[in-house]
Amino acid sequence: MITAKSRGRQLLLQGNEAIVEGALAAGCRFFAGYPITPATEISEVMSYRLPAAGGTFIQMEDEIASLGAVIGASLAGTKAMTATSGPGFSLMQENLGFACVAEVPCVIVDVMRGGPSTGLPTNVSQGDVMQARWGTHGDHPIIVMAVSTTQDCFDITVKAFNFSEKYRTPVIILSDEVVAHTREKIFLPHPGEIEVLDRIRPNTPPEWYIPYEDNPRGVPPMGIFGDGYRYHVTGLLHDVRGFPTQRPDEIIPFMSRLFRKVNQHFYDIQVVEEESTEDAEVIVIAYGSVSRSARRAIREARKRGTKAGLVQLMTLWPFPRQILEPLLRRVRAVLVPELNMGQVSREVKRINQGATRIETLNRIDGNLITPNEILVRLVKL
Amino acid sequence: MAEFTKLIHKYLRHDKKFPHVWCPGCGNGIFLGALIRAIDRTGFEKDQIVIVSGIGCSGRISVYVDFNTLHTTHGRALTFATGIKLANPKLQVIVIMGDGDATAIGGNHFIHAARRNLNITAIVVNNSIYGMTGGQYSPTTPYGATATTALYGNIEHAFSIAELAAMAGASMVARGTVYHANLLDELIEKAIVKRGFAVVEVISHCHTQYGRRNRMGGAVDMLRWQKESAVKIDKAQTMTAEELTGKFTIGVLEDRDLPVYTHEYNKIRDAAKAMLAKAG
């Protein structure tokens, strides 16, 4: 559990507003965005909250420019974020890859709506799970988190900023139309109770600074434009000094470090929430708004004598394999309900390796999967 | 030691693995010289300057100079620069783009950056061709010219980059050539110290990809073409439209004082803080 529900201010907020609160609490002081349903409220609330906090909001000419400005602001030392939905997220893929390769901390919120293309702008979906993982070209590691409640929106946004700063990587938050627009109770912890992490800055004399030198964490200290550590930032594959290279003996260590810095910290990055899994015979693996239906369904199933459990994925990528594998070997069957044709269930099947039976429950009509739909399937598993 | 050698030692990176990527005779070298002379004259510290570049031959400049440097994605240099300037307005942000970079893939960012009027210097090195990818037609390739993707002649019409920037709302717009190197130093210096969005279009040449294919000769011939085609802006005002056919103007084409974005945004911050204080 990563929430601090016991203390703090109690408010009634929608998910999009809670994401803004989380970002501000995490130290975000720059937001660039472009209007898009169902993410627009994030821009609107940022536009009046950020200037009062001494930060900057700007509405750019498109989503490509939004993420470009976010990366620029981060390089100049400000924690920065953008928010969009599927079509805008597609436009961001180019600069997302840049942020991965240049190792620029930033947070991107994708409030998922029905797709493909313009799709179902005002309806819920979970169709961007694979776009978040593989949308930008080339091999790259990425951290993707999913939110299911207004409280999650706050907590996970803080966590997303912390991960992006700690590992110098873009972090994607996948929200969806239901979470974004549901108004519910939220407890905002006091500022002093929130763990906020900042990127590690170099402390060597500038002339000794080697900007992309490896270390045990795999995350080099990050110089900020203007603080005396003049160095080169590029989307080209580069050597330890940041200069473009085509030498295999420089490319291999760079790419390996990029993957290692995320993969070796899986225990920190992979966040899940389990309910009633200790003695479960069947489990539901769910994320986002669907996990709310799933939680209700397993509780109902227990009342009817089915030993059901829930694993709610907060981290979608890197896929929480280390946490799921032991569970898959223990249970009789697994149900993966999601609002797409089977993006996470495909990953569950991949890591399952035939250990147990995986069933899917998919809905792509723009409506939420109800607790009853899950319950009906659960009791038959 | 020659004066310029001192500048080379001061502003070019010592730890970079030279040689550079440019062809012998390329206009980018002259432009790079003008850039560091202009920066030196402004007196800014190296730590204060951020060079942001796009993709293409001119985009490689950021690798060679000893400032805070950022080599962005194709066409997006101005968007990154916008974020840098907003996050730290004390930094002097100079953006270097090519013609394809700034007006094709980055055309939308270019006009919006001009309209927005941040205190950024945008330099577009215009050689009328996509040089790095091997000579495809760009938005500034003249009508009728040939390129590897226009073997039968280009049927599109060229942008005038400087005029485009002026119409889009830039505070200062200038055009120079790599032939008129002294003027170029002055124009770049003016653009850097100008408060507001300042654009310098630098007419350059690509003899390798454009000149050869369009029978314009080598680098020297193309420099001669710049000398003969460029008309100083004050002289152009005394000339007829007929006399100006096939020519282009050089000098400061637009210089006006407009509200600067970061200054305006500070007012928004004050208003937001006042409103918050009032609400308690």
Query: Got the DSSP string for A11-75?
Result: EEEEHHHHHHHHHHHTT--EEEE---TTTHHHHHHHHHHTGGGT-EEEE-SSHHHHHHHHHHHHH
Mean pLDDT of chain B: 96
Q: Counting every residue, how long is chain A? A: 381
Q: Counting every residue, how long is chain B? A: 280
Rounded Cα distance between A213 and A202, Å, is 11
Nearest chain B residue to A96 by CA distance is B73
Contact A4, A182 (CB under 8 A): no
Edge-first strand listing for the sheet containing B172-177: A232-234, B68-71, B49-53, B92-98, B120-126, B198-203, B172-177, B248-255, B230-232
Rounded Cα distance between A78 and A237, Å, is 24
Question: What pLDDT, on the 0 to 100 scale, is given for residue A67?
Answer: 98
Q: Which residues contact A214 (CB under 8 A, 6 or more apart)?
A: A220, A240, A253, A257
From the CA of A65, how many Å to the nearest CA of chain B? 5
In angstroms and rounded to an integer, the radius of gyration of the C-alpha atoms of chain A is 21
Is A230 in contact with B62 (Cβ distance < 8 A)?
A: no
Find chain A residues with C-beta within 8 A of B45's C-beta: none
Domain borders along chain B are 3-279
Is A98 in contact with B73 (Cβ distance < 8 A)?
A: yes
Rounded Cα distance between A88 and A267, Å, is 31
Nearest Cβ partner of B84 from A51, A95, A225? Answer: A225
Is A73 in contact with B268 (Cβ distance < 8 A)?
A: no
From the CA of B106, how many Å to the nearest CA of chain A? 10
Nearest chain A residue to B69 by CA distance is A232
- Angle, CA of A90, A94 and A95, to the nearest 5°: 110
CA dihedral B100, B102, B108, B113 (to 10 degrees): 180
DSSP B235: H
Question: What pLDDT, on the 0 to 100 scale, is given for residue B24?
Answer: 96
B3-279 is a CATH 3.50.50.60 domain: no
Find chain A residues with C-beta within 8 A of B87's C-beta: 30, 56, 72-74, 76-78, 80
Contact B168, B197 (CB under 8 A): no
Rounded Cα distance between B225 and A359, Å, is 72
Nearest Cβ partner of A30 from B72, B73, B87? Answer: B87
Find chain B residues with C-beta within 8 A of A228's C-beta: 47
Distance separating the N- and C-terminal Cα atoms of chain A: 28
Question: What pLDDT, on the 0 to 100 scale, is given for residue A258?
Answer: 97
Nearest Cβ partner of B88 from A226, A228, A244? Answer: A226
Find chain A residues with C-beta within 8 A of B63's C-beta: 232, 234, 243-244
What helix, strand, coil percent values describe chain B, rounded to 5? 45, 20, 40
Find chain B residues with C-beta within 8 A of A64's C-beta: 76, 79, 109
Rounded Cα distance between A31 and A74, Å, is 10
Find chain B residues with C-beta within 8 A of A72's C-beta: 52, 70, 79-87
Contact A45, A17 (CB under 8 A): yes
Question: Which residues of chain A have a pLDDT value below 50?
Answer: 1-5
Is A72 in contact with B87 (Cβ distance < 8 A)?
A: yes
Nearest Cβ partner of A56 from B15, B81, B86? Answer: B86
Question: What type of residue is A20?
Answer: V
Contact B32, B42 (CB under 8 A): no
Question: What pLDDT, on the 0 to 100 scale, is given for residue A2?
Answer: 43
Peptide bond into A211 cis (omega under 30): no
Domains within chain A, CATH numbers bracketed = 9-193 (3.40.50.970), 273-380 (3.40.50.920)
- Determine which of A75, A78, A240, A247 to mutate to test the interface with B (most B C-beta atoms within 10 Å): A75
Is B68 in contact with A95 (Cβ distance < 8 A)?
A: no
Rounded Cα distance between B238 and A181, Å, is 64
Is A51 in contact with B272 (Cβ distance < 8 A)?
A: yes
SS (H, E, C) A303-352: HCCCCEEEEEECEEECCCHHHHHHHHHHCCEEEEEECCCCCHHHHHHHHH
Find chain B residues with C-beta within 8 A of A236's C-beta: 71
A interface with B, Cβ–Cβ below 8 Å? 30, 32, 48, 51-52, 54, 56, 58, 60-62, 64-78, 80, 94-95, 98, 225-228, 230-236, 241, 243-244
Question: What pLDDT, on the 0 to 100 scale, is given for residue B17?
Answer: 67
Contact A75, A234 (CB under 8 A): no
β-partners of residue B198 are B121, B172
Nearest chain A residue to B112 by CA distance is A61
CB pairs under 8 A between A and B: 142
- Angle, CA of A138, B56 and A131, to the nearest 5°: 25
Per-residue tens of pLDDT for chain B, all 280 residues: 788 899 999 999 987 767 889 999 999 999 999 999 999 999 999 999 999 999 999 999 999 999 999 999 999 999 999 999 999 999 999 999 999 999 999 999 999 999 999 999 999 999 999 999 999 999 999 999 999 999 999 999 999 999 999 999 999 999 999 999 999 999 999 999 999 999 999 999 999 999 999 999 999 999 999 999 999 999 999 999 999 999 999 999 999 999 999 999 999 999 999 998 888 6
Contact A343, A126 (CB under 8 A): yes
Task: Kindly list the distances between the CA atom of residue A133 and the CA atoms of A139, A145, A277, B163, in Å, as whole numbers in the listed order.
Answer: 10, 11, 27, 43
Question: What pLDDT, on the 0 to 100 scale, is given for residue B184?
Answer: 98
For A49-70, what is each residue's pLDDT tens digit? 999 999 999 999 999 999 999 9
In angstroms and rounded to an integer, the radius of gyration of the C-alpha atoms of chain B is 19
From the CA of B204, how many Å to the nearest CA of chain A? 25
The encoded tokens of residue A329 equal: 């070997």
Find chain A residues with C-beta within 8 A of B68's C-beta: 225-226, 230-231
Is B70 in contact with A234 (Cβ distance < 8 A)?
A: yes
Rounded Cα distance between B164 and B160, Å, is 6
Question: What type of residue is A55?
Answer: G
Question: What pLDDT, on the 0 to 100 scale, is given for residue B279?
Answer: 82
Question: What pLDDT, on the 0 to 100 scale, is given for residue A9?
Answer: 87
The encoded tokens of residue A363 equal: 């809905």
B interface with A, Cβ–Cβ below 8 Å? 15-17, 46-48, 50, 52, 62-63, 66-73, 76, 78-88, 90-91, 108-109, 112, 265, 268-269, 271-273, 275-276
Is B90 in contact with A94 (Cβ distance < 8 A)?
A: no
Nearest Cβ partner of A65 from B71, B85, B109? Answer: B109
Question: What pLDDT, on the 0 to 100 scale, is given for residue B19?
Answer: 85
- Determine which of A49, A61, A95, A243 to mutate to test the interface with B (most B C-beta atoms within 10 Å): A61
Question: What type of residue is A370?
Answer: T
